[in-house]
Structure 1
């Protein structure tokens, strides 16, 4: 009888899980394993919000597996050492896992392959578990990856869909394997108070709600900041409590322009994965250098601190940053506005913003986070790298009644009309009644500084009433 180990990473589910299906095909025993790797923390990926969400996911996965007659085995330590130890303890013949596409995931896979070969155990790496189309499956002629989204999307949509796999009916786990307790979210410090719960059951519940209530209106409402009409599936896609293939499959069955727009945005996840798989250095370096000399020094540090705290003096920017702090999540239009303000108006390095987002975002994914930041900063794949979003115009357009600002910037709750997006225009006595900072910089001054830094003529700078959707909106 064969014994197989299924190593869970960012695929914490039983529905549509190719590694689990392959492990069960032999008819033997299966060890569902998750390793809490200290290397993840050393690499800066283990933010409190993601650790709390992960704890929910692991407890939920364990409960589901117990309902199938099995359980989840949790270990702590270096992945290669712990997997090898479990292989020896269970006398396992093979290990199954999902493919990863970051430099970290590739190094982990290579180390596992070497170690397991020494143990006489085979490693099977399954593609397409974390996304819809694996990186490298579709490529442009003469290049290893697509650098422009639209042609990639056309090829991506032409790929034949795969029907999602059903969950297993039963599971047999070898006896005698030690497993650790998973800490609860309440035991972790630094967790955002409004963080949503994790786990496959929560993800499937959210998916059912989204498809039955909001997907049809997605095309019209995805940018409505106060309406909160995006899917909020991003954390579940990041941790793999939902299969991206199943999400697209189920959304496609509904049809309509809303579903099509939603699916297009899910495609951005795969687009960014294939960019990062081909150019892993883009997690740290400009994908396309603009020869930026980002602001440094005490003044830039003070501006960065005010941005982090949601005290820039621009209400829609501050609302977005405060939502991030409270929920560990931000509406995608808010992400676009906040990122543009930091990189284009304050002219602060995109890596500083990306680092702060990764410290809080429950859906903090290296490919999506870093490459979205580069898209906004103009160092990535955006075909209009010098667009600058005006936060006042963006607020008027996407929060026209100021409900989003009032929700997250309560000191301005008493303001009405145009003043909600331009409180500095109040008279002296009115202004004194609101404990809200003056703008860090006047918008024309910020625009002029950015134009000078990139040596642009005025027609080369695009403002901000752009209706273009920010990449990855469907997942947020």
Structure 2
């Protein structure tokens, strides 16, 4: 094969990249391509994405290649480049969302060979099927058992050389913002993974729900953009089943989305639920001004960092759908807009799980926010970190400041009667 285009999307790395490795083995010339399509909402992830692309371009250039960047419709720009270069095939990592699959179908409908490779998940969606029939697992635990027994593909080393034609215009990549506490890119991802594994993996089971301790890995944005291979991370953490189980949950929601691509729009399991329309309450939740400190802390962490502690996500989501009675789709949209790790499969899968419309076998499960606060933020340190109005409130009252004789100035009373706890 003479020339192959490798179309990058949610796989912004050179380590363990099946499509890139196959192209480098089988073609004389390899054209790594990323198309920036401004019509696809990136939310607050745009700057992080640019950091990832800058890092990927540097990694490819270190191997004699380059990242070719184009702007516009992904399929149109890919085919324009294919015609100009005489490319014989397009290689890409397979994805699961409705948008990604429409793009894959459009590419496959062009008069050029297309191959789609694994790499976005540990086990490709559709690989594991229930023995009793059906195209996917609807419940996590049997999926976990099958996933744990499955023989994974082998890890792939990064190509030593990427033979990109030197006469190609590399294209304009916008200047990324300065890196923050979570800089984008494969190198930052690998550094964070190795540091966290060495420092915190052993105690993960006992510490990952501690809100103030903040000992979760924070690797989810790097998995979302494919800066880390989920298979490689599974191998690196194989001795800790509690953490590996979280990676399996990610695969689980991807295989659900593959089978039910309307997961971001429609209830997976319709319950006939009638949601309330309360715009003022929804806006207070978005702003972290509900008057319930543990909820407000989580929502303000999201706005400040583009990330939220996993336990806080359960609390604030349950509060929105169970206490305020607001449609889970409104919460999922806000999360998708602000989270660096926001993707369709995990974001909407988890929101539907909390709302009782998804894969939870107990659809009426709830998370009492006060009890959760007392259990996972007993001293109120997480709340004080993100709700400065409560910085001087003693621990005994930080989760119930409305009980004080003089509530803290500037902090609202609860917008609804607080649940008992």
- TM-score of the pair, normalised by structure 1: 0.86
Paired position in structure 1 for 2:127: 137
C-alpha displacement of 1:38: 3.4
Matched, 1:437 2:418: no
For 2:291 and 2:353, the matched residues in 1 are separated by 25
For 1:100 and 1:249, the matched residues in 2 are separated by 22
For 1:58 and 1:231, the matched residues in 2 are separated by 22
Q: 1:438 is paired with a residue of what secondary structure?
A: coil
For 1:371 and 1:26, the matched residues in 2 are separated by 37
Matches within 5 A, 1:63-462: 63-115=58-110, 117=111, 121-127=112-118, 129-140=119-130, 141-186=132-177, 196-252=182-238, 255=239, 259-296=240-277, 300-427=278-405, 430-431=406-407, 433-444=408-419
1:294 touches 1:348 (CA, 8 Å); kept in 2? yes
Residue of 42, 45, 61 corresponding to 1:46 = 42
Q: 2:116 is paired with a residue of what secondary structure?
A: strand
Any runs of at least 4 consecutive aligned residues in structure 1 with deviations exceeding 3 A, and if so which?
none
For 1:233 and 1:92, the matched residues in 2 are separated by 35
For 1:39 and 1:133, the matched residues in 2 are separated by 30
Superposed CA offset, 1:130-182 (max 9, x none):
00111110111211111100000000000113331111111221132223222
Matches within 5 A, 1:5-20: 5-20=5-20
C-alpha displacement of 1:194: 5.8
Paired position in structure 1 for 2:25: 25
Q: 1:333 is paired with a residue of what secondary structure?
A: helix
Superposed CA offset, 1:326-385 (max 9, x none):
001100101000000000000000000001111101111101001100000111111121
Q: 1:84 is paired with a residue of what secondary structure?
A: helix
C-alpha displacement of 1:39: 3.9
2:4 touches 2:27 (CA, 8 Å); kept in 1? no
2:24 touches 2:161 (CA, 8 Å); kept in 1? no
Structure richer in helix, relative to its length = 1
C-alpha displacement of 1:250: 1.0
For 1:372 and 1:131, the matched residues in 2 are separated by 17
C-alpha displacement of 1:272: 0.4
C-alpha displacement of 1:204: 0.3
C-alpha displacement of 1:418: 2.0
- TM-score of the pair, normalised by structure 2: 0.97
How many residues are treated as equivalent by the alignment? 420
Superposed CA offset, 1:52-100 (max 9, x none):
1110001000011111111110001111211111112221111110001
Q: 2:159 is paired with a residue of what secondary structure?
A: coil
1:14 touches 1:20 (CA, 8 Å); kept in 2? yes
1:7 touches 1:96 (CA, 8 Å); kept in 2? yes
Q: 2:109 is paired with a residue of what secondary structure?
A: helix
C-alpha displacement of 1:419: 0.2
1:75 touches 1:82 (CA, 8 Å); kept in 2? yes
Query: Which blocks of at least 5 consecutive residues in structure 1 are unaligned?
Result: 188-192, 448-463, 465-476
For 1:346 and 1:81, the matched residues in 2 are separated by 44
For 1:393 and 1:21, the matched residues in 2 are separated by 50
Q: CA RMSD in A?
A: 1.5
Distance change (3 Å), C-alpha of 1:372 and 1:101: same
C-alpha displacement of 1:27: 4.9
For 1:394 and 1:241, the matched residues in 2 are separated by 33
Query: Which blocks of at least 5 consecutive residues in structure 2 are unaligned?
Result: none
For 1:376 and 1:6, the matched residues in 2 are separated by 38
1:194 touches 1:327 (CA, 8 Å); kept in 2? no
For 1:370 and 1:194, the matched residues in 2 are separated by 27
